[in-house]
Structure 1
Amino acid sequence: MPALAIATVGYFGFHALNGEFGLVGRARIEHRVESLKLELETLRAERRELEMRVVLLRPESLDPDMIDERARQALNLVHPQEVAILRPSN
């Protein structure tokens, strides 16, 4: 009987430390939560930037600089007196 009790306590003790939701598993989960929070904040910032660009493209708030930028990009043109800086595409 004592051996069975020790085995049972040992089994549950082992899984309390090393199981998926044990102390070690909890540290892994908390680390994953932190990394996902950072990723979420990055995605939210990217979304805010895209929303601002969409607002600039609406007909009631067209920005002349934005129109000029898009036209030059689509037509692949620059003025003769401008300096073009070429960046590698993603």
Structure 2
Amino acid sequence: MSTRQKKIRKTGRLIIPTIAIAFISYFGFHSINGDRGLNATQQFDVRKAQLEAELSSLKSERKLLQQQVKLLPTSGPVVRDMLDEKARQALNLSRPDEIVIFDYN
């Protein structure tokens, strides 16, 4: 009578830890470098700050334009100073004895 003994393989014990390490590595890499990872989040924050700065400058420009529109008459006579300023700005002309300084702030 012969008995067969099973050899205990060490490779069988390494399969589950190897798969676990592969999953952890995959998800760890993509949590840092993926489309929604840490690096992308930092880039989104930088872009957000740029767009917020642009938005604030556009809001201030809009306020200026709204103030200028308020000076224009809706149905009455045109304010002479406003008409003169807009014409000079559009045509880039002035009289020879004048000094014109445009403030674009």
Q: TM-score, normalised by structure 1?
A: 0.74
In structure 1, how many angstroms separate the alpha carbons of the residues matched to 2:88 and 2:43? 49
1:57 aligns with 2:72: yes
2:84 to 64, 68, 82: 68
1:1-90 correspondence runs (5 A): 1-59=16-74, 62-71=78-87, 78=95, 82-83=97-98
* Paired AA for residue 49 in structure 1: L
Q: Unaligned 5+ residue runs, structure 2?
A: 1-15
Matched pairs, number = 85
Q: Unaligned 5+ residue runs, structure 1?
A: none
Higher relative contact order (CA 8 A, sep 6+): 1
Q: TM-score, normalised by structure 2?
A: 0.65
Whichever structure has more helix as a proportion of its residues is 1
Aligned to 2:10: none
| Larger-Rg structure | 2
Closer, same or farther: CA 8–73 of 1 in aligned 2, 3 Å: closer
Q: How many angstroms does 1:83 deviate by?
A: 2.3
Q: What is the CA RMSD across the aligned residues, in angstroms?
A: 2.7
